[in-house]
Chain A
Amino acid sequence: IAGITQAPTSQILAAGRRMTLRCTQDMRHNAMYWYRQDLGLGLRLIHYSNTAGTTGKGEVPDGYSVSRANTDDFPLTLASAVPSQTSVYFCASSDSGQGELFFGEGSRLTVL
């Protein structure tokens, strides 16, 4: 079934470690996004990419970086994890950047 695949689904990480969350889509969507979801808060945009080769900062970009070398992949890297980055991370894509978002199943990250 076509869609978005995230990996890992769950990870416990020591503070200070580097971590990359992977995201791959096979729908040939131009736009991709990384969100974090925390209890009591709405989804918050970390970084986005409107098309391969371009990226932009969202609402909460500090401590995170992304790359978009091709249409399908949009990895999110935490250079040096901190406990406040404990969250559920969702990758999403959309065809035009103006319509419906399709979400991956999420990556639950715990930073100790």
Chain B
Amino acid sequence: GQNIDQPTEMTATEGAIVQINCTYQTSGFNGLFWYQQHAGEAPTFLSYNVLDGLEEKGRFSSFLSRSKGYSYLLLKELQMKDSASYLCAVMDSNYQLIWGAGTKLIIKP
């Protein structure tokens, strides 16, 4: 079966760096997405990786290793507004998105 694993919850301190990991086993691979979802709101797109390596976008970076079935989202200079759930999703060979359950990130002052 297809599976996306990510930690349920993480806690970090304002101003620090946090890395949220995602491992996947899917039928084929056509890219990996990260979305941010604040409580009670809709998910919003953060990043997309289809080739191995690091994609940087401001304070957020996303890394992919296809051979290891592994990705991480790196958040730098954490702000209180970064408190949210972070969803990892993989597009399989049929171009369907398989979603992880999300990682709830709690930022403490």
Contact = CB atoms under 8 A, between A and B. Distances in A.
Contacts of A41: 101
Interface string A14-54: 00000000000000000000000000111111000000000
Contact of B42 (A44, A97, A103): A103
A97 B41 contact: no
A43 B102 CA distance: 9
B42 A104 contact: yes
B97 A40 contact: no
A42 B87 contact: yes
B99 A98 contact: no
Interface stretch (B13-21, B43-51, B57-65, B67-75): B43-51
Interface residues of B, number: 23
Interface size class of A (residues with CB under 8 A): 10 to 19
A106 B42 contact: yes
A62 interface: no
A73 interface: no
B95 A98 contact: yes
A66 to B, nearest CB: 16
B43 A103 contact: yes
Task: Pick the most buried of B41, B42, B45, B96: most chain A CB atoms within 10 A of its CB.
Answer: B42
Given A42-B4, A42-B100, A42-B101, A98 B91 contact: yes
A102 B98 CA distance: 16
11 contacts: A40-B101, A42-B99, A43-B97, A45-B97, A90-B43, A97-B95, A100-B33, A104-B42, A105-B41, A106-B41, A106-B42
